[in-house]
Structure 1
């Protein structure tokens, strides 16, 4: 007997790998923005501190039972709020790329994000219901 997660595209190992790469790239975008846009001598601090702060919030505020993550969480966050957090982080990374002057890269990142979230509709729907 199959479960819904057996059929869920968002929980496929390849999709989980893609999601991980998108998350790491988003953190890189925040660091790149800090390095390029924060005035010296704080730029190097910003290049490290901004992605670390985003990663802490990203990792601590999760929805319990989310199989795209470990399923555990530090602060149990309602699914719709978690989805907004994710869209905010990914949208912020897109904006960071644009503000850093990498408009072409930002455009491709946005296209990949939109396609990923369309394909991972099952997880998006799960978050909206929890």
Structure 2
């Protein structure tokens, strides 16, 4: 699969890490001293849990395991919400250039994963 080219899988991995960082930064930006200490680790932890738990069975870009099976379109929405949520987190924290670069790299990654997108939407 073209979407599984080594460079794109590597890019996707780093985009996932960037999303978690961006979500953590967004959590830290919440007002209130107590809430930021709760939200900064909790938001990325929830996102990572959702990412790892809800999957399409036999997804060739993953291990194939799906602890909680979901339709491909739902998985695609979940991925996009988490990835772009990280970019929004960077933007909200004032890291506008980082947000833009991350968002563009997400688009590039998915543009080179059209076969996977088609597969997801057929599931």
- Which category of TM-score, normalised to the shorter sequence, fits these structures? over 0.9
Answer 1 or 2: higher relative contact order, Cα 8 Å, separation at least 6.
2
Structure-2 separation of matches of 1:129 and 1:53: 27
SS state at 1:101 partner: coil
**CA displacement at 1:40 relative to structure 2:** 0.7
**Aligned equivalent of 1:17:** 10
**CA displacement at 1:103 relative to structure 2:** 1.2
Gaps of 5+ in 2: none
**CA displacement at 1:36 relative to structure 2:** 2.6
Equivalent pair of 1:38/1:46 in contact (CA under 8 Å):
no
> Greater CA radius of gyration, 1 or 2?
1
**CA displacement at 1:111 relative to structure 2:** 0.9
User: So what's the TM-score if we normalise by structure 2?
Assistant: 0.93
**Aligned equivalent of 1:70:** 63
Query: Runs of at least 4 residues of structure 1 off by over 6 A?
Result: none
**CA displacement at 1:9 relative to structure 2:** 1.7
* Aligned mate of 1:30, from 16, 23, 27: 23
Q: Which moved more, 1:91-100 or 1:111-120?
A: 91-100
